[in-house]
Structure 1
Amino acid sequence: MSKIDHYLHAGTRDNTRVAYQSAVRHYEIEWGGFLPATTENIAQYLVDHAEKLAINTLRQRLAALAQWHVDQGFPDPTKSPLVKKVLRGIQREHPAQEKQAKPFQLDQLGIVDRWLHNAIATANASGDRAGELRHTRNRALLLLGFWRGFRGDELTRLQVEYIEIIPGQGMSFFLPHTKGDRQNKGVTFKAPALKQFCPVAAYTAWKELAALESGPVFRSVNRWGQVGDQGLHMDSLIPLLRTIFKDAGVAGSDEYSAHSLRRGFANWATGNGWDLKTLMEYVGWKSVQSAMRYVDAADPFAQHRIESSLSGPDQSSVSITHQDI
């Protein structure tokens, strides 16, 4: 690979590259489409998958095909009026409500943290090195994920050498690449030291127990208590979290995802007086629209607002006389 190819490769996030490769493969191999494609090819591809794929998936497929044509020096057929009109028609005929991650609440965090704390102590007392390592890692992952509001891919990409701890105050993390960092300047996040559910203490305990000096923070642990060299894969995060929640006795553990920690923190923060600007700065959201997708209204059905505005006698107890008719 030449240096030009190397930097071209580095210019696209790994997750995006994998998703785009999969989309192009689906179009060309599974559907049997030809590349370069015509406008009519793309429109027919959308029509054939209108009832099978979500609208956001179709948009991702279009983005991948558009990028392929641009990279190969061909005109982009996905931007034609025909394709745009077909996509609008699919969205109108097959509307779909966006599914949100279930927020992980603070009381649930307390339940899981206590369970992990006890599991660590039990594993230590019985000489179960592998169990002690896993539970200590999971506790650090859980508390960092919640209090920092990290995305799943950000959690799995944390590096030991980019983390600095200030005793008694908190810790800072440098991430060279994040989803919202379009200029690739890197972003520094901070997390506080807390009196309970402390992410700093949990991370320090994991780092010391696993003897981590550099490289990925969160890694696999085998049955013999050996810590892997590679970071946890993003795809393993949801099953791992669900297993932790289930073992700790959290109801509906299969309803949670990696975004549940991020959404749970956002709801906790707004419920405790954080204004939207402060929350956006802390979590790293660049737009109000992005932030609002994670924040639930305090009174989602407007029940309390409506009832508090009602005045006068209870309407159900007012009698109707002959004169009223």
Structure 2
Amino acid sequence: MPFPIQRLRRLRETEPLRRMVRETSLTPNDFIYPVFVTEGQGRREPIVSMPGQSRLSIDLLVKEAQEVKALGIPAMILFGIPDRKDERGSSGFDPDGIVQRAIRAVKAQVPDLVLITDVCIDEYTSHGHCGIVRDGKILNDETLDCLRTMAKTHAQAGADMVAPSDMMDGRVAAIRDELDRAGFVDLPIMAYAAKFASCFYAPFRDAANSSPQFGDRQSYQMDPANKREALREIDLDIEEGADIIMVKPAMPYLDIISAARERTLLPIAAYQVSGEYSMIKAAAQAGWLDERRAMLESLLSIKRAGAEIILTYFAKEAAGLLQSRPA
């Protein structure tokens, strides 16, 4: 038999040819950089379980924001580490809380950087759960009042977008209503629509000191086995007014990202979470992986699955590398 006419290797022969036919590409515009902000001055606390990441005081956060902007990354998302915690997470919706002050400081110095805020009380509660607790039960509707107030105080401080991550039912509608009533009708909501109860969050919980003090989060975060339920969650958040929907974690749930892309015209974000980041870092430190190639391949897989926006702790490293590569 004659050799087949189609030789797919023809277009793989040289780097310029490969660039010409490349179907998916990464740019710094794809990234959101997650940052932990803490109290104090001149304070940089390395996070052991997340090599290369640190908790930053507000003054150092401003410098970080300037660096992020210079790298062409359009946005950061802020996670607060408060100096006090209570049963309701009240420091999280204090108008003078750590995130609210951080927003004001960054917007004063780097106004063009998009500042997104995590709207969830787990970092601020003494019990570590994402909702109000009574008799060992996570209370959905009572928690919505906290989330409403938190989102409004973030908006009043100057946030450009809010991102509820709590997984309480109805929180997108509640936050949308609160923002609209307060005059923030143009402030978008990026909803953690399909957030799974994942072991890959462990380094984040170490960084934020937000591990539950009892039980787990499976009564509100999603069962990793459920794809159809994830799509229902996405549909509900869209109905309630989400402007961007998010899947979290990213790589273990590429099928959910892909299914969401087929389902909605809304922008899709995916969070390459702390465990995904730390696995690559640890394997690279052990000499088992080429860190740069593993980083870019993992990010490319997330975008190829259908996410236009990627929250990743690799944002600065990836942006620096992409800027130095041929277009």
- Regarding TM over 0.5, the answer is no
Q: What is the TM-score when the length of structure 1 is the normalising length?
A: 0.28
**Structure of larger gyration radius:** 1
Normalized per residue, the structure richer in helix is 1
Provide the TM-score with structure 2 as the length reference.
0.28
Answer 1 or 2: which has greater strand percent.
Answer: 2
